[in-house]
Chains A and B, each alone.
Chain A
Amino acid sequence: MSLIAPLNFLFAGLLGVVLLLYVLRLKRKERVISSTFLWHSALRDLQANAPWQRLRSSLLMWLQLAFLALAIFALVRPSIKVLAAGGQTIAIIMDASGSMVATDVQPSRFEQARSEAGRLINALSTGDQATVISSAAQTRVLAPLTADKNILKKAITSARTQDTGCNLREAIVLASSLLRGKQNPQIYVLSDGAVAPINDLSLGKVGLQFVRIGKGNENLAITAMDVRRGYGANTNPQIFVTASNFSSHEKSVNLELSHDNDLVEVRPMTIPAASEKGPGQQAQLFGDLTFQQGLFSVRFDADDDLKTDNAAYAVLSAPQNLKVLLLTNGNTFLENALNLDPHVQVFRTTPGDLAAAKAKGSYDVVVCDGINSPNLPDTNQLVFNTVTDLSPVTKVGVASAPSVADYDKKHPVTRSAPWNDVRFTQAIAAQLKPWGQAIVEGEKTPLIVAGEQKGRRVVWCGFDLFDTDLPMRVAFPIFVTNALRWLTAQRGATGPAEGSALRAGEMVPLMVPPGIQEITVTAPDKTSRSIPVSASPVAYDGADRVGVYTATGRVGKTDWKQVFAVNLLSKSESNLQPGVALKVENTNITAETHARANRELWGYITLAALALLGLEWWVYHRGSLWSPDSLVTVFRKLRVRST
């Protein structure tokens, strides 16, 4: 039993008031009679002049106290949990995220959620309405608000999981908007609770109940996979893998690396048990691989509760030969850094020769070394110390001796190199355009900004390379290589190493060559979906399963094919530990093992209180229930009946 309004217990002070009335003397109307002699035995009190009287036990007093106690009890609104309270409108949110396919409960968490939802539907009374919502990376209304149980059951049957995270907030917002203004609105969240705290959410009068599904946390997962090409002359890929152990025992497994489905290497590893700090982790590096392209996959043979996260995939496209136009008046540092990569062909030009260079052909990247020109080729840009038309900033002034305040360690352009102690004598003070993202920030101005507009990517650096010690640092060639790779990367066709780590549920932009009218995307489960092409890139929103996807098309007699991989790579989804509570707006909603409706008891208590009030009235006007005369009458009646 729970109390909805426990503060109303403050009304218990009224009990004291009732008792006070019993010990306080009433101001009575005086009446002269012939003799009080016969009233003696019926008199309440003989102390006529004292303001207080001794508290005497009286049936009326106890009845009044009991009535008041019941009334107060009704005010605190006690409730008990029942399967269905009746007269309600409910929304069933089924968590369809990746962790719900875990098999710690049989047959699986999602099947149990399906069963729990079925129980809720079956328990609906006539006239009750319900809606079914599936919540994963995307929120889907599987059944609109209806009283038709068949529709609701079909919706539950049709629900399926996605290998994605769970956007529970969006589902709750949708459900609460559907239920707003309805009778006794109640949201049931059938989930394992592996979600982040939900903030900025106002439920109003809509009730929320969290039904926890799942019990164990026996899971090993690949929580990170990174494929990187080497820097400089050696551009062979390296694969970084992080395996996490969420169980309470140390686990030993064999990590297998495959290339294009051929086993390349098996590496035994022992992953420590999870602790209070988090899961036990073990990182592995597969270095100096000779494969320049193809599908890389890692997996281990763990017998755990969630199989989806036991493998990860990365597609590495063949290294491109880049044509880079360097617009400079002379910069040895920059030229050397660009020439480090054997796949980069640098064309150096000056402002005066720009038109001629532009006429010679197309370029993958143009590098502006402090020079701006209206005749820049329409391509990706790496810009130093100037603001071009494509730059993601606008100039507002000059910043003197800015220092690095922060930088994005995970961005493909700035990762793998320290930026903390890089010095600058001066830089352009700039203001970000909406599509720009500052990846190295000074105290007052962004120093390096990355952005993409109209299919063109730009990395803008607001400083002259001669005004900084960056060229003297090891970070510089790494930065230049990273920048060139990110500027020329095709999203969706590359592995995480090239900045396009695809997680299940994300929208995948597919760069489709001109002329293709329709492409077909084949999912890991071999199902295909045709998508008409109106413009490139084509947005593909069906990547909700972990695995390798293949997009194909045809231009005339030429086949086009693009392979991309989708991974779970989510610690929150791989952590199968069921949540004990759902945190919504700083309120912990405690997990229930089964869906229960709150049935308020105040109606019954009020009826009991009214019955007591009637009894009190009867006793006051008709006499005591326990008077000897009443008992004698009752016994006589019983005797007459028995004879």
Chain B
Amino acid sequence: MLLSPPLLKKLDALSLQAKRAFTGASKGEKRSTKRGSSVEFADFRSYNMGDDIRRIDWNAYGRFEKFYLKMFLEEEDLDITLLIDASLSMQFGAPVSKLLAAQQMAAAIGYVGLTNFDRVGAAVFDSGIRAWFPPTRGRGAAGQLFNFLEKQEPGGNADFTAVMKRVAAQARRSGIAVVISDFLLPEGYETGLKTLAARGFEVTAIQILDRRELEPDIVGDLKLVDVETGVAREVSVSDTLLKTYKRTVDNYCANLRAFCLRYNMNYLLVANDTPIDLTMLRLLRSVGLTK
């Protein structure tokens, strides 16, 4: 069970929010780019032949003796795409692996979306899209989503850019894209994220790192082997080297964060041992993904 019932109860109070409006597929609870029938005033415009005379603002006619239509915002559903990195590097982490943390986070975000009548889709990727959960609405689909996520096992090397390009190409509508990965990508993450943003997605990058990746506890003369590439690096770990490494990690995360801000993306760094309820109830709200 990815999420406990008490957590699900807490998540019921949350909803996802986008910084801007998106065009939905059907009526929903999120503002749409369309004008519609909600109670929220949007704008005035001149009457044209064929317009519904029930929308004429008679108060404006009294003042200006011209017909104006009063326009209200349309509320539609929101497309939420969860992109979960399941490459081999995500299998690390204790007591909770990075992949499990990503699965829990994706499940929680998906659950919040589904309970608010948003369309939630998910893709699990390594070098390509390994599994696809088609966009689905309604609370009843939460169980299917959980089952889908739960089945995923780590494997393969990440080809982030190719996957993001494919997601962007296949998407019928844009919306919120939540990318959950460790972002330890030698080839870089910039192209992939920019591709999503260019397709119109409002991107939230959630970087999950193992606590020991942030604060390594290794010492001595070691031969470090990359689990994905198999490349070995010899290293004599000293305090100096650990400081250098931590500085490198901090710089790397800071660069990712700066990149996201520059392209109007949300960014959140989460350690694998951070409780999921803390992440959902506090951290995601701080970056503006939930309210």
Contacts and interface: CB of A to CB of B under 8 A. Distances in A.
Interface string B211-249: 001000010111111111101111110111101110011
A39 interface: yes
Interface in A23-42: 25-26, 28-42
B186 interface: yes
Most buried by A among B218, B224, B248: B224
A623 interface: yes
A38 B245 contact: yes
B252 interface: yes
A356 interface: no
A639 interface: no
B21 interface: no
B239 A29 contact: no
A48 B243 contact: no
A37 B240 contact: no
B226 A33 contact: yes
B221 A28 contact: yes
B210 interface: yes
B239 A622 contact: yes
Contacts of A31: 218, 222-225
Contacts of A28: 221-223, 234-235
A46 B182 CA distance: 24
A43 B184 contact: no
B92 interface: yes
A34 B210 CA distance: 9
A100 B182 CA distance: 94
Contact of A34 (B92, B222, B241): B92
B116 interface: no
B interface bracket (residues with beta carbon within 8 Å of A): 35 or more
A40 B218 CA distance: 16
Contacts of B104: none
A603 B88 CA distance: 58
B89 interface: yes
A42 B245 contact: yes
A183 B184 CA distance: 70
Interface string B254-272: 0000000000000000000
A35 B234 contact: no
A453 to B, nearest CB: 90
A158 B182 CA distance: 95
A34 B184 contact: yes
Contacts of B223: 28-31, 48
A413 to B, nearest CB: 91
Given A34-B184, A621-B238, A621-B239, A39 B224 contact: yes
A372 interface: no
Contact of B233 (A34, A39, A621, A622): A39
Nearest to B243: A623
Interface in B53-81: none
A31 B184 CA distance: 18
Contacts of B240: 619-620, 622-624, 627
A35 B184 contact: yes
Nearest to A623: B240
Interface string A587-622: 000000000000000000000000000000001111
A interface bracket (residues with beta carbon within 8 Å of B): 20 to 34
B227 A35 contact: yes
A619 B243 CA distance: 13
A623 B240 CA distance: 4
Nearest to A45: B234
A360 interface: no
Contacts of B238: 620-621
A36 B231 contact: yes
Given A38-B252, A620-B239, A33 B234 contact: no
A38 B238 CA distance: 16
Nearest to B93: A34
Contacts of B98: 34
Given A38-B213, A38-B249, A624-B240, A44 B225 contact: no
B160 to A, nearest CB: 12
Contacts of B88: 34
A36 B248 contact: no
A43 B233 contact: yes
Most buried by B among A39, A41, A45, A624: A39
A46 B232 CA distance: 8
A38 B184 contact: yes
A48 B228 contact: no
Contacts of A38: 184, 213, 245, 248-249, 252
Contacts of A620: 238-240
A36 B233 contact: yes
A28 to B, nearest CB: 4
Contacts of B249: 38
Most buried by A among B220, B234, B236, B241: B234
Contact of B228 (A35, A43, A624): A35
Contact of B89 (A29, A34, A46): A34
B221 A34 contact: no
Contacts of B89: 34-35
B227 A32 contact: yes
Contact of A42 (B90, B182, B244): B244
A29 B221 CA distance: 7
B235 to A, nearest CB: 5
Nearest to B185: A37
B225 A34 contact: no
B94 to A, nearest CB: 12
Contact of A44 (B228, B234, B248): B234
A458 B57 CA distance: 169
A33 B221 contact: no
A43 B225 contact: no
Nearest to B220: A29
B272 to A, nearest CB: 11
22 contacts: A30-B223, A30-B225, A30-B232, A32-B227, A33-B225, A33-B226, A34-B88, A34-B210, A36-B224, A36-B226, A36-B233, A37-B185, A37-B226, A39-B224, A40-B233, A41-B244, A41-B248, A42-B244, A42-B248, A44-B235, A620-B239, A623-B240
The 6 A-B residue pairs with the shortest CB-CB distance, nearest first, are A35-B184, A28-B223, A34-B89, A34-B92, A36-B226, A42-B244
Given A26-B234, A29-B221, 20 more contacts: A29-B223, A33-B226, A34-B90, A35-B186, A35-B227, A36-B224, A36-B231, A38-B184, A38-B249, A38-B252, A39-B235, A41-B248, A42-B241, A42-B244, A42-B245, A43-B234, A44-B235, A620-B239, A620-B240, A624-B240
